[in-house]
Structure formats: structure tokens, C-alpha cells
């Protein structure tokens, strides 16, 4: 039972202890990657924990609104959005999308990776799991990267870039 207490609740507690204000532009994505990787590596020793957390994501909206799951879901989303907001403040996460869409993208990439991991878990070692986690975070980073038009250092919009490129071709 003691190992279980360090399970999902322990992993969430570790994440919630991170103060987003301590993140810098340089530390943001490496820290995010580590926070993503560690629960997976801990689950290597307890695969039931990983499967249980993933199964909770498929509960009905009614089930997710009942306690204690409702509180847990709110804590996870609040924590994630605080991290996203900090990333936006640091200029490492785009600002041209709603918070809900950003959260949905993060969830979708994470769920796709988790689905694949569950299907292949018995064939993977710790190194492979860490690699898949890092690839997943890289996908998240690329999806949420600041686009040139979001960055004040770039004065040329995408439409303008396409127009320039088209004129060069013609």
C-alpha cells in the first residue's frame, strides 16, 4: 500500500510543487520534459499505475464531475495551464490560440503517446520509455512553438512570407 501512496497522488504532488515562476526560457522545455518523463519511468516498475491513470481519462463527464476525481482533474488542468501561461510569458509558447485549445492539443499528444506505450509496454525498457516521452514533449514543443508572427522580433506575417515566396517563384 505504501508504494501506492507514492503513485498517482505522489506524482501529482511532485508536479504541483514546481513553482512556474522559477522557470526561465532556457529551463522551460527541459523541465517540462523531465516532469513528463518521470511518472512514466516510475510506472515502469508499477505498470498498473500507468494503466489506471490512463483509464481515468476515459471516464464519463458525469464521473469526472464527482469527487474526488473532480478535484484531481481541476488540479491537473490548473497546474498545466499555469505552466502554459508561464511558457507564454517567457515567449516559448504561442499566444495566438485559446487556453482550451492549447490544453486539448497537449492532452491529445499525450493520449496518443500513452495509447502507443500501453500497446507496447511489455516490449519496452526504461530507455525506450524515456525516449518516447522525450519525443512526445518535442511534439508538444513544436506544436506550441512561438510562430514568427507571434514573436516581436519578426515583423513579417505568414501571409506576407507566402506572398514573398510566391513572387520569388513567379
Predicted model pTM? 0.72
What's CA 127's distance to the chain center, in Å? Answer: 20
Tell me the average pLDDT across 120-126: 92
Number of folded domains that form the chain: 1
Is a pLDDT exceeding 90 seen at residue 162?
A: no
Q: CA–CA separation, 58 vs 74, rounded Å? A: 16
pLDDT of residue 79: 85
Q: Which domain holds residue 141?
A: 2-169
Using alpha carbons, list the distances in angstroms from residue 40 to 30, 116, 129, 156: 16, 13, 7, 41
Instruction: Kindly state the cell numbers that stand for 153.
Output: 522580433
pLDDT of residue 76: 77
Higher pLDDT, 77 or 143: 143
CA distances from 57 to 47, 96, 115, 130 (A): 16, 27, 11, 22
* CATH code of the domain in which 10 resides: 1.10.357
How far the first Cα of the chain sits from its last, in Å, is: 70
The single residue listed with the C-alpha cell 508561464 is: 86
Pairwise CA distance, residues 71 & 65, whole Å: 8
Q: How far is CA 1 from the centre of its chain?
A: 29
Please give the residue that has the higher pLDDT: either 35 or 165: 35
Amino acid at each position: 500500500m505504501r508504494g501506492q501512496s507514492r503513485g498517482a497522488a505522489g506524482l501529482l504532488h511532485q508536479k504541483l510543487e514546481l513553482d512556474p515562476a522559477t522557470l526561465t526560457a532556457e529551463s522551460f522545455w527541459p523541465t517540462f520534459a523531465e516532469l513528463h518523463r518521470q511518472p512514466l519511468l516510475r510506472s515502469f516498475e508499477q505498470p498498473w499505475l500507468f494503466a489506471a491513470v490512463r483509464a481515468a481519462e476515459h471516464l464519463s463527464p458525469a464521473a469526472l464531475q464527482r469527487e474526488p476525481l473532480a478535484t484531481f482533474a481541476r488540479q491537473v488542468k490548473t497546474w498545466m495551464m499555469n505552466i502554459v501561461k508561464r511558457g507564454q510569458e517567457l515567449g516559448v509558447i504561442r499566444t495566438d490560440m485559446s487556453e482550451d485549445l492549447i490544453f486539448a492539443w497537449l492532452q491529445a499528444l499525450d493520449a496518443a503517446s500513452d495509447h502507443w506505450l500501453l500497446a507496447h509496454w511489455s516490449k519496452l525498457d526504461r530507455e525506450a520509455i524515456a525516449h518516447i516521452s522525450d519525443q512526445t514533449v518535442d511534439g508538444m514543443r513544436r506544436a506550441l512553438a512561438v510562430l514568427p508572427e507571434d514573436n516581436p522580433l519578426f515583423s513579417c506575417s505568414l501571409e506576407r512570407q507566402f506572398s514573398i515566396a510566391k513572387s520569388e517563384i513567379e
